[in-house]
């Protein structure tokens, strides 16, 4: 029976495929693919975890006090029986062998299958045994976590490698940023999550991958079953489960049209981004790992406007990457860009990108009442001075191999500015004392807090450039948790207050003769290209997959004409409507907005 699930459209296009469920668990579960040569070692990990849990349960039963209820011993017997049941461990092995899932993911996938079977049982007593299965799986997951894994994550295998040719879509309650890294170059055609907003990390990465996604779909992961056929309509925010043949064919036609449009845009790759009136615009790339740099070059980026270094720190069980490891990563990105500038942002851990070891006191992200307002980004770096200097040294060392710029996130106080430059001076001195080469780098500030935007002129006295992080700027200006689907509808990049803060920052940078760019989601959204150009922005940084679309808008724009409308749009109570009306022209001819 066809079923429709509604959520928030966050990455445009259509995806069609069989559902792969990432089940939620009370225990954090890593999801990654393993290589063919890692299948047997991973099965052995599962076997060892089963033996550990069996010993634990046997020990609990052996050490039971004499006055313990008889039911408790019977319950332990049930858990031991479930532990050795082929429906659990045997089927879990099949997920490892056939889909190349790591053991934790395979176990969670099988739990999802079994839980549904129990939910459908008519007998109430049997239905309640689902809790026993969940408890056994939780023990296994904990044992796997204690044993750890020495296996490196592998790229997702093609479906043909596990005996199928069908495309796949990923369905989850939520997808952690660290897991998104593993899925980034995977076979998945689209994503659906129960939670999240338009600028949640899952949404951002899905857009950056250029694949359709719907978030905030509430009960999607409970309504959709493993291997259900699913259509993801990333334009309307609709997920269609078990579609009819007619609906399926209609969406396949739309897919073909989108592919033709992408091919047409790809021809603009090497065309300079120059407006109709001769204004040159800088189109930069946002990257997360050094391996992303060649893709940025291939897409026509003229540099990296944002290297998100925090992804080097994830999926490491709280262990920090050393200075040499960081240096090698930064150098690889710099050399891959072949002399073009690379802007490296210091670690922006916190909020929707939690780090397992938030401080030496082992403070964890989940214990923070409001992580978006807590110890994150530069605040965390300044609270960990040795870690911060280590990262600064690694970045400075990479500057000897190309043009590097340093970007500092979430500055709010001039005191933080002073501490940052003191740390930078100390890092430089340490390198000089050790005879390690580096060059002076330009230093920029992320403007993503209203307080910083209002003090942009003061910040610009200390920095060489500023970069507008519009995702957080919108969140903090409107007091909206952008990852919370309950208030996601209030997240509004067209809000007059947001647009005025952006315009004022761009104006302040021009007045100071300093560079300014936008590296948030607005930079890669064609709906805002004309407006940002009208404000005087000439530097956009976005995921490489978005560059061609934005370049097309720029090639069709006349900034002299656009600049006449900027003030009217900014002073309007309904900026989006005013923008549409003014930038289309009196004849109804579209100039570059929609």
Q: What is the pLDDT of residues 15-35, one digit of tens each?
A: 999 998 876 554 567 788 898
Residue range 205-222: average pLDDT? 84
How confident is the model at residue 309, as a pLDDT?
94
How confident is the model at residue 247, as a pLDDT?
95
Report the CATH number of the 36-147 domain.
1.10.274.10
How confident is the model at residue 391, as a pLDDT?
98
Cα–Cα distance measured from residue 305 to residue 311, given in angstroms and rounded to the nearest whole number:
16
472 is in an annotated binding site: yes
Across 156-183, b (16+ Cβ under 10 Å) vs e yields: bbebeeeeeeeebbbbbbbbbbbbbbbb
31, 365, 519, 565: the catalytic one is 519
Residue range 139-161: average pLDDT? 66
Cα–Cα distance measured from residue 160 to residue 144, given in angstroms and rounded to the nearest whole number:
29
Q: Are 541 and 305 in contact (CB under 8 A)?
A: yes
Mean pLDDT score across all residues of the chain: 86
Q: Which of 490, 557, 546 is nearest to 518 (CA)?
A: 546
Hey, what long-range contacts does 131-134 have (CB within 8 A, 24 or more apart)? Answer: 132/75, 132/78, 132/79, 132/82, 133/82, 133/88
Residue range 92-106: average pLDDT? 92
- Which tokens belong to 268? 């603009």
Task: Give the pLDDT band of residue 151 (cuts 50, 70, 90).
Answer: very low
How confident is the model at residue 126, as a pLDDT?
66
201, 365, 543, 565: the catalytic one is 201
Is it the case that residue 350 has pLDDT exceeding 60?
yes
% of the chain surpassing 90 pLDDT: 55
Cα–Cα distance measured from residue 211 to residue 490, given in angstroms and rounded to the nearest whole number:
24
Residue range 441-467: average pLDDT? 97
Is it the case that residue 455 has pLDDT exceeding 80?
yes
User: Considering Cα of 193, then 195, then 197, then 201, what sign does the dihedral take?
Assistant: negative
Is it the case that residue 512 has pLDDT exceeding 70?
yes
Q: Are 467 and 447 in contact (CB under 8 A)?
A: yes
Q: What is the pLDDT of residues 264-288, one digit of tens each?
A: 888 898 899 999 999 999 999 999 8
Cα–Cα distance measured from residue 167 to residue 190, given in angstroms and rounded to the nearest whole number:
10
123 is in an annotated binding site: no
Cα–Cα distance measured from residue 316 to residue 355, given in angstroms and rounded to the nearest whole number:
9
Is it the case that residue 379 has pLDDT exceeding 80?
yes
How confident is the model at residue 539, as a pLDDT?
98
The domains of the chain are located at 3-15+174-263, 36-147, 267-584
457 is in an annotated binding site: no
Residue range 139-166: average pLDDT? 66
Lowest mean pLDDT among 312-316, 361-365, 550-554: 361-365
Q: How far is CA 100 from the centre of its chain?
A: 23
- Which tokens belong to 586? 């009196």
Lowest mean pLDDT among 189-198, 288-297, 434-443, 483-492: 483-492
Judge whether 3-15+174-263 and 36-147 match in fold: no
Q: What is the pLDDT of residues 402-415, one digit of tens each?
A: 999 999 999 999 99
> Is 519 a known active-site residue?
yes
How confident is the model at residue 132, as a pLDDT?
80
How confident is the model at residue 113, as a pLDDT?
85
How confident is the model at residue 184, as a pLDDT?
62
Q: Largest Cα–Cα distance of the chain, in whole Å?
A: 90
> Is 201 a known active-site residue?
yes
581 is in an annotated binding site: no
Instruction: Please state which architecture CATH assigns to domain 3-15+174-263.
Output: 3-Layer(bba) Sandwich (3.50)
Is it the case that residue 476 has pLDDT exceeding 90?
yes
Q: Are 312 and 289 in contact (CB under 8 A)?
A: yes
How confident is the model at residue 482, as a pLDDT?
72
How confident is the model at residue 373, as a pLDDT?
78
SS3 380: helix
Q: Would you state the torsion angle of the CA atoms of residues 271, 273, 274, 279, taken in this order, to the nearest 10 degrees?
A: -160
N- to C-terminal Cα separation, the chain = 37
Q: How far is CA 498 from the centre of its chain?
A: 23
Residue range 442-448: average pLDDT? 97
% of the chain surpassing 70 pLDDT: 85
Q: How far is CA 328 from the centre of its chain?
A: 23
Token match 């930069």: residue?
A: 284
CATH superfamily placement of domain 267-584: Phosphoenolpyruvate-binding domains (3.20.20.60)
CA-to-CA separations, 106 to 11, 110, 166, 473, in angstroms, rounded: 28, 6, 19, 39
Task: Give the pLDDT band of residue 115 (cuts 50, 70, 90).
Answer: confident
Task: Give the pLDDT band of residue 430 (cuts 50, 70, 90).
Answer: very high
- Which tokens belong to 422? 């003191």
Q: What is the pLDDT of residues 359-370, one digit of tens each?
A: 433 334 444 556
Higher pLDDT, 537 or 29: 537
**DSSP class of 400:** G
Q: What phi and psi, each to the nearest 5 degrees, are found at residue 16?
A: -130, 130
* Helix axes 130-147 and 39-62, enclosed angle (nearest 10): 120
How confident is the model at residue 150, as a pLDDT?
43
SS3 476: helix
Higher pLDDT, 67 or 587: 67
Reported residue count of the chain is 594
How confident is the model at residue 358, as a pLDDT?
47
Higher pLDDT, 66 or 523: 523
345 is in an annotated binding site: yes
Lowest mean pLDDT among 162-166, 313-317, 333-337, 388-392: 162-166
How confident is the model at residue 589, as a pLDDT?
43
235 is in an annotated binding site: no
Is it the case that residue 555 has pLDDT exceeding 50?
yes
Q: What is the pLDDT of residues 174-196, one digit of tens each?
A: 876 656 666 665 678 899 998 88
Cα–Cα distance measured from residue 104 to residue 31, given in angstroms and rounded to the nearest whole number:
7
Higher pLDDT, 262 or 70: 262
- Which tokens belong to 301? 């980026």
Question: Percentages helix, strand, coil for the chain, rounded to the nearest 5?
Answer: 50, 15, 35
Is it the case that residue 144 has pLDDT exceeding 90?
no
Cα–Cα distance measured from residue 454 to residue 412, given in angstroms and rounded to the nearest whole number:
10
């Amino acid at each position: 029976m066809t079923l429709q699930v509604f959520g928030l459209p966050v990455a445009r296009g259509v995806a069609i495929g069989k559902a792969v469920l990432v089940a939620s668990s009370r225990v954090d579960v890593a999801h990654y693919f393993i290589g063919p040569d890692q299948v047997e070692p991973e099965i052995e990990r599962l076997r060892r975890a089963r033996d550990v849990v069996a010993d634990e349960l046997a020990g609990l039963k052996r050490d039971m006090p004499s006055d313990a209820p008889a039911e408790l011993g019977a319950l332990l017997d049930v858990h031991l029986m479930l532990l050795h049941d082929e429906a659990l461990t045997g089927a879990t092995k099949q997920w490892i062998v056939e889909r190349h899932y790591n053991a934790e993911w395979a176990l969670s996938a099988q739990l999802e299958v079994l839980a549904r079977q129990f939910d459908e049982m008519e007998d109430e007593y049997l239905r309640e045994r689902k809790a026993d299965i969940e408890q056994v799986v939780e023990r296994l997951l904990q044992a796997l976590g204690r044993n750890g894994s020495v296996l490196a994550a592998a790229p997702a295998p093609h479906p043909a490698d596990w005996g199928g040719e069908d495309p796949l879509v990923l369905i989850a309650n939520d997808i952690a940023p660290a897991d998104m890294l593993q899925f980034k170059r995977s076979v998945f055609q689209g994503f659906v999550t129960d939670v999240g907003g338009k600028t949640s990390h899952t949404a951002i990465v899905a857009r950056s991958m250029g694949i359709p996604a719907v978030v905030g779909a509430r009960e999607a992961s409970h309504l959709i079953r493993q291997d259900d056929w699913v259509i993801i309509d990333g334009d309307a925010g609709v997920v269609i489960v078990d579609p009819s043949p007619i609906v399926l064919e209609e969406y396949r036609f739309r897919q073909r049209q989108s592919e033709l449009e992408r091919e047409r845009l790809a021809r603009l790759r090497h065309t300079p981004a120059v407006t109709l009136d001769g204004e040159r615009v800088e189109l930069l790339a946002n990257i997360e790992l050094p391996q992303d740099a060649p893709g940025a070059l291939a897409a026509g980026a003229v540099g990296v406007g944002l290297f998100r270094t925090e992804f080097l720190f994830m999926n490491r069980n709280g262990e920090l990457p050393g200075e040499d490891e960081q240096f090698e990563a930064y150098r690889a990105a710099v050399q891959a860009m072949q002399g073009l500038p690379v802007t490296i942002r210091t670690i922006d851990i916190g909020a929707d990108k939690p780090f397992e070891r938030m401080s030496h006191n082992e403070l964890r992200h989940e214990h923070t009442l409001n992580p978006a307002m807590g110890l994150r980004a530069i605040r965390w770096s300044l609270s960990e001075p040795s870690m911060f200097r280590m990262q600064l040294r690694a970045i400075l060392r990479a500057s000897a191999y190309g043009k590097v710029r340093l970007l500092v996130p979430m500055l709010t106080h001039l005191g933080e500015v002073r501490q940052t430059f003191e740390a930078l001076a100390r890092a430089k001195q340490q390198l000089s004392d050790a005879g390690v080469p580096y060059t002076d780098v330009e230093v920029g500030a992320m403007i993503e807090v209203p307080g910083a935007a209002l003090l942009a002129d003061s910040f610009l006295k200390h920095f060489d450039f500023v970069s507008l992080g519009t995702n957080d700027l919108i969140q903090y200006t409107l007091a909206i948790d952008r990852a919370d689907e309950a208030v996601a509808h209030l997240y509004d990049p067209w809000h007059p207050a947001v647009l005025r803060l952006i315009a004022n920052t761009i104006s302040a940078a021009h007045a100071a003769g300093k560079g300014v760019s936008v590296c948030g989601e607005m930079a890669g959204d064609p709906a805002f290209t004309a407006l940002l150009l009208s404000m005087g922005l000439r530097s956009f940084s976005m995921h490489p997959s978005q560059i061609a679309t934005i370049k097309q808008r720029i090639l069709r724009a006349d900034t002299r004409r656009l600049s006449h409308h900027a003030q009217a749009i900014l002073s309007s109570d309904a900026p989006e409507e005013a923008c549409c009306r003014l930038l289309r022209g009196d004849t109804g001819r579209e100039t570059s907005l929609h």
